[in-house]
Structure 1
Amino acid sequence: MHRRSLLALAAASFATPAFAQAWPAERSIRIIVPVAAGGSQDIVARLLARHLTEALGQNVVVENQPGAGSNIGYEAASRARHDGYTLLAGSDSLSINRTLFPHLGFDPVEGFAPVARAVRVPQILVVRADSSATSLQDFVGATRRGPVAVGTPGNGSLAHLLGEQIQAAAEMRWTHVPYRGGALAVNDLLGGSLQGVMINIGAVTDHVRAGRLRGLFVSSATRAPGLPEVPTLAEAGMTGGEAVGWHGIVAPRGTDPAIIARLNTAIGQVVARPEVAERLAALGLEPVNESPDALGTLIRADASRWAETIRRARIQPD
């Protein structure tokens, strides 16, 4: 082989490690958040950004790009340079959106490199504290006696899909009322125009703790540390229906594995900090420290699981 070609190969073989070693000295890192400010996904992203700034020695900023079921932010991140300076605040909707929005110009599952699942986000079914339903079985019975309206954060949300699975398993039906965000659904439940709300635990933890709402189950395999009095779905009488959402970080596909490994380590250290763990616990969220491969496995498994539910129930996006 020509000497010049050998030199080119040698230079190429060292280019990626050298770049990864220098990262992130060049400029600030941005985290695209595909939802509006204020919700648990945004709060977690901002918490990570603040502490990653210290951990990485580089400014980490949050950029909200909401809309189109998170797909505006997702697409922007998928088309960004895979140089480690653009990250995405990912969630379970990456798996859901692949089937819910079949004509996207990008693949929400394969278009990203998993970095870290920072927190687990159990779902919860809540009713008003004065409701006659004190258990899931009571609630199932109520749906068989007459119309029962259950709100969710929207068509195709994890809460909606889990609700469809539970209804099929229990052979009962409620009236699904989709909202554009969970806060409005919770307000209507408190006001009495809904009989229940299925939602991520962080949206209602304060209401349950204050005695305004009652949790009938959480969707995780074990009880949520933030609401230990609420039974799991299995304890409430239904097995095999566990479904836990997540908030974390992914990167554009092709991002250097060394950068991903460094980010994964840093995020694991951040969520283990006592002050961060305390903030997450206040939201009812559970910190997670696991590998990028584990997150990738979860994303692909959920994509398969929810595709079946979406097709069977003929779910359409808002």
Structure 2
Amino acid sequence: MRRRTALLLATSALAHPARAQAPWPAERSIRIIVPVAAGGSQDIVARLLARHLTEALGQAVVVENQPGAGSNIGYEAASRARPDGYTLLAGSDSLSINRTLFPGLGFDPVEGFAPVARAVRVPQILVVRADSGARRLDDILAAARRGPFAVGTPGNGSLAHLLGEQIQAAAEVRWTHVPYRGGALAVNDLLGGTLQGVLINIGAVTEHVRAGRLRGIFVSSAARAQGLPEVPTLAEAGMTGAEAVGWHGIVAPRGTDPAIVARLNAAIAQVQARPEVAERLAALGLEPVHETPEALAALIRADADRWAGTIRRARIEPD
């Protein structure tokens, strides 16, 4: 009887083998958590990638905005997700900044993720109204020395804010920093005359500069920005060693299968090569860049070390 039962069980196992796990990403749709509100350049890039990755991967890729707490709500949600390739994060330079800016986080924004790909470089730009008398960085610094000169940024601890602190320290001048909860509000106040300048990522003001409403004083990259080639670099404006270029891209929860990371990296490269994607990014003044996950990991760590010093010296605290 025992032999017959064992034989029946063995036969059943052969007839009904365990269902093999479906190969990624066949099982279900992929979500990209965007840790900022809809409408900004980080959200636009994430949605552009999601739309074209859907075709490249043969699986729906959807965007889920989880803004708040300096991006940390979205960051933490992504860090705690299963590392199975079905939850990704629209990462940016704030991963490096937030490690020092928010010392009490329950996760590590630098080591808590598996970098996938840096999709675009995001130079910062200082802009003034087109009718401003300021045409060069020297004009800005002179105005700040004469009296109140208000420069808005997307918020305390933003890359633009940190760059502004570096410039002020190097030039031994202080302007009035006005942090906003998002760059759009700062740009609106600049256009309305409340501010004298705004430091912000180039994607937020490219259309305004091209339309003649705003004037670019400098871009923060080592070379002139492809989208606004008439705007000089910081070095050309007379200040060296203060380059600061942000990025938008994709990271995954730590522990994600390296094979999945590699496939995502290759798929993003395919998306970047599409003419319609290149045209959309160019319209925003953003510059596509493709590199290995290892290169992005090294950048995140290097930026974390670099900006930690600026945050501590300037005693910057989050909004």
Distance 2:269 2:254 in 1: 21
Distance 1:191 1:147 in 2: 17
Distance 1:272 1:117 in 2: 14
Q: Could you report, residue by residue, the CA deviation over 1:163-185 in whole angstroms, capped at 9, with x for unpaired residues?
A: 00011011111000000101111
Q: Could you report, residue by residue, the CA deviation over 1:193-222 in whole angstroms, capped at 9, with x for unpaired residues?
A: 111000000000011001111000000011
Q: CA deviation at 1:189?
A: 0.7
Report SS of the residue matched to 2:199. strand
Instruction: Give RMSD over aligned pairs.
Output: 1.0
Aligned residues: 300
- Partner of 2:127 in structure 1? 126
- Partner of 1:149 in structure 2? 150
Report SS of the residue matched to 2:125. strand
Q: Could you tell me the percent identity over the aligned residues?
A: 88
Code of the aligned partner of 1:35: V
Distance 2:238 2:274 in 1: 36
- Partner of 1:104 in structure 2? 105
- Runs of 4 or more, structure 1, over 4 Å off, are none
The answer to whether 1:162 aligns with 2:163 is yes
Code of the aligned partner of 1:308: G
Instruction: Note if contact 1:272-1:287 (Cα within 8 Å) is conserved in structure 2.
Output: no
User: 1:72-221 maps to which residues of 2 (within 5 A)?
Assistant: 72-221=73-222
User: 1:1-318 maps to which residues of 2 (within 5 A)?
Assistant: 22-318=23-319
Q: Could you report, residue by residue, the CA deviation over 1:89-127 in whole angstroms, capped at 9, with x for unpaired residues?
A: 000000000000000000000000000000000000001
Distance 2:270 2:161 in 1: 33
Report SS of the residue matched to 2:31. strand
Q: Could you report, residue by residue, the CA deviation over 1:38-59 in whole angstroms, capped at 9, with x for unpaired residues?
A: 1110100000000000000001
Distance 1:25 1:210 in 2: 45
Distance 1:217 1:297 in 2: 27
Distance 2:197 2:145 in 1: 15
Distance 2:271 2:45 in 1: 11
- TM-score normalised over the length of structure 1: 0.93
- Partner of 1:12 in structure 2? none
Code of the aligned partner of 1:204: V
Distance 2:47 2:184 in 1: 20
Report SS of the residue matched to 1:122. strand
Unaligned runs of 5+ in 2: 1-19
Q: CA deviation at 1:242?
A: 0.5
- Structure 1 or 2, whichever has the larger Rg, is 2
Q: CA deviation at 1:296?
A: 0.5
Q: CA deviation at 1:186?
A: 0.6
